[in-house]
Amino acid sequence: MLQDHRRIGCEVFDQRRPFTFKLDEDGVVKPYAKKFEWRLSDLKPFFYDKKLVERMLSRGSDPLIYETYWPSWETVEGVIGTGTEIIHPGKIGDEYYHSRGHFHEKAINSEFYVGVKGHGRMLLQSPEGEVVVISMEPNEIAYMPPGWGHRAVNVGRERMCCQFVWLLDSGHNYQVIEEGGFLKLLLERDGKPTLVDNPLHGK
Ligand code: ZN
């Protein structure tokens, strides 16, 4: 293992050495090496109201849904990494803006999400199909158990910012989510986030 650790390193720091990160006033990890933006057009499979998505896109409305910021990690077994996820406030119909969500390819790996700003929820689904919602408010540390798929959802009116900490060799499996999505969705009902059966399942 030590041999592996001698190899690792990246553009902004050396993964073999101790260091600290700082979150800036927007809650973004510094230093970071890469930033990704996810617009509605990138996320078509991940919102249930396909007709509304197509209508919005055809009239030129392609909102920015979320952003991620990453130090440029080199994947090594047993080494952890961190990054920032910012989900903008908004809804597609009654479905709150959210990240794609994923399962880990290496299902024995767990993960933490730390709430930094705004009002978030984590939507989780077990390998057996149990769906659970937990809150992710500022200073709250949300635990993703091994095998559970997870998605961050912004249920507030401001930007929701969180910091994830995961094992770099976890791998991300988006396919399960893309092919019909989570079994339940977090939708707004009577002004409140409510867990509702995903209408795309059972069709
Ligand atoms: Zn994960």
- Rounded to two decimals, the pTM is 0.92
Token pair recorded at residue 18: 């101790």
In whole angstroms, what is the distance from residue 173 CA to residue 150 CA?
Answer: 11
Nearest to residue 147, comparing CAs of 179, 109, 177, 184?
A: 109
Residues within 5 A (CB) of ion ligand 1: 111
Distance 167 CA to ligand 1 centre (A): 9
Determine the residue type at 193. P
CA of 104 to the centre of ligand 1 (A): 6
pLDDT in tens, the chain (203 residues): 333 333 344 556 778 788 888 899 999 998 888 899 999 999 999 999 999 999 999 999 999 999 999 887 888 888 899 999 999 999 999 999 999 999 999 999 999 999 999 999 999 999 999 999 999 999 999 999 999 999 999 999 999 999 999 999 999 898 878 887 899 999 999 999 999 999 888 65
First to last CA, the chain: 48
How remote is the CA of residue 58 from the centroid of ligand 1, in Å? 32
Q: Is 53 left (phi over 0), alpha (psi -120 to 50) or beta?
A: alpha
